[in-house]
Amino acid sequence: MRKQATLIAALLIVAAGPWARSQSIPSHPRDIKFPKLDYTPPKASTYRTVLQGGVPAYLVEDHELPLITVSVTIRTGSYLDPAGKTGLASAVGSQLRAGGTARWKAQDFDEEAEFLAVNVSSFVGSTSGGATVNTLARNLDEALELYFEMLAHPAFQQDRLDLYKSQVLQAMERRNDSTEGIEGREWNRLLRGEKHFTSVPTTRASIQGLTREDLVAFHKKYYHPGNFIFAVSGDFRTADMKAKLEKALASWPRSSESVAAVPKPDFTPVPGVYIVDKADVNQGRVSIGHLGIRRGNPDEYALEVMNEILGGADFSSRITNRVRSDEGLAYSAGSSFTAGVYYEGTFRASFQSKSSTVAQAAQIVLEEIDRMRKEKVTADELETIKNNLIEVFPRYFGTAAAIAGTFAGDEYTGRDPKYWETYRDRIRAVTADDVLRVAQKYLQPDRLVILVVGNADEILKGSADRTEFSLRKLVKGGAIVRVPLPDPNTMIYPK
């Protein structure tokens, strides 16, 4: 036993290397002293190039593994769905990859990709689209051939489109099954209104009405090099990759037509308590919040620190500690305070608790919001959060793919190029006074929307052991608004 212990100790010392030889082993892990993090973030200009025709591309070499990833961000999105054609953009994003091309039928395209061991994907989200190919470096030319054939000449094969529509319609039937899905949908309606594109749902009629010609027209309008930003990472030489991309785009005309701006919501949220009855569950999902800020707000950094202390920092945050650790009312609880790119983001505190304790957990969250507005945060809280944000900063550039993707995304959304250069200094500069000031300014209790999804009768009944907590008490003289579940196919809400 002593020989084994001696051997293990020797191995640990060898493994520790210079660190172990340069300082004594501390008696406790908390006594370990680490050198100050010395990290300089990369600059976008180092990797940015402009292809012929004015297409920006971020090319980041990484020769550790013989792998290459090519991604393109496309200026499109579901906000561009024509009236009565909700779901068209998403269908294009799906069928661009699944629907074959002018050269390859869908099944042949799948087989070719499998033979080459490449992964090709595409999507369209709410305010952007994208397509990616991952390949072994030795198969790059063949992979790019597949990739650009898909981007430029999709066939939108009818049988694959029919299958897609059938799958969407089947999923539509289950819209009211998941409390998480219901919560997300209704939360967005309460904060953005029913008419904003983020709240307008697909329906059976809108999906059934989609035609192959609709997809072709959407693709023709938005998929061209003038709407592309490339992010490429992996085992290549920059000059070679630039030449390959330019060759692939050479015969593809660039449209001069500008893309419509992302519309802002024309809606003011109505504060109050809203409840959606889902009688077949024994837990309630709760969201509490209001509108937030836009990106570029000078208080963005102080708000990030404030929210991390309030509920954003997992087990270091106040909401998590009280709701989860102290009271045991939820497995996860926290908050976010997002800065929107095209319009205001949201402040949102959320948790999931058993029906009888929903009101108690909600009251705790409200108390923590109020405390954040009335008391300065402690020096320990402030330093812990600031150090965490600064220490994890390099993760944004942890891989070549992350570097390329971060800078491509920044260009797409128009982020200030100096954001990353000054981020840590701005976080360091945040004081307890700053946190209190932004909490008082941006956390607005009189504007809070409280959404509860679950068994309404059980939630309103509350806990027999803790009668001091009641959802009705949160209304403060008003009425709890019942939000009915809509028909999943038409999305028409009962009156």
d(CA 412, CA 469): 47
Q: Hey, what CATH topology would domain 46-249 get?
A: Cytochrome Bc1 Complex; Chain A, domain 1 (3.30.830)
Q: 396: how many CB neighbours lie within 10 A of its CB?
A: 14
332's tokens: 């996860």
List, for residues 385-419, the tens digit of each pLDDT value: 999 999 999 999 999 999 999 999 999 999 998 99
d(CA 346, CA 442): 11
Looking at residue 494, its pLDDT comes to 94
Architecture of domain 272-482: 2-Layer Sandwich (3.30)
CA distances from 7 to 1, 2, 15, 23, 26 (A): 10, 9, 12, 21, 20
Looking at residue 387, its pLDDT comes to 95
Q: Are 190 and 269 in contact (CB under 8 A)?
A: yes
List, for residues 316-364, the tens digit of each pLDDT value: 899 999 999 999 999 999 999 999 999 999 999 999 999 999 999 999 9
List, for residues 195-250, the tens digit of each pLDDT value: 999 999 999 999 999 999 999 999 999 999 999 999 999 999 999 999 999 999 99
CA 166 vs. chain centroid, Å, equals: 27
Q: For 69-88, what is the mean pLDDT?
A: 97
CA distances from 369 to 150, 180, 306, 334, 386 (A): 50, 23, 11, 11, 20
Looking at residue 12, its pLDDT comes to 47
Do domains 46-249 and 272-482 share one topology? The answer is yes
Output the DSSP codes for 147-173: HHHHHH-B---HHHHHHHHHHHHHHHT
Looking at residue 417, its pLDDT comes to 85
| Residue 206 bridge partners (DSSP) | none
Q: Check pLDDT > 90 for residue 268.
A: yes
Q: What percent of the chain has pLDDT over 90?
A: 89
Q: For 156-179, what is the mean pLDDT?
A: 98
Q: What percent of the chain has pLDDT over 70?
A: 95
Domain boundaries, the chain: 46-249, 272-482
List, for residues 10-57, the tens digit of each pLDDT value: 444 444 555 444 557 888 887 888 777 788 999 999 999 999 999 999
List, for residues 142-159, the tens digit of each pLDDT value: 999 999 999 999 999 999
Looking at residue 404, its pLDDT comes to 98
Confidence band, pLDDT 50/70/90 cuts, at residue 2: low
Looking at residue 4, its pLDDT comes to 54
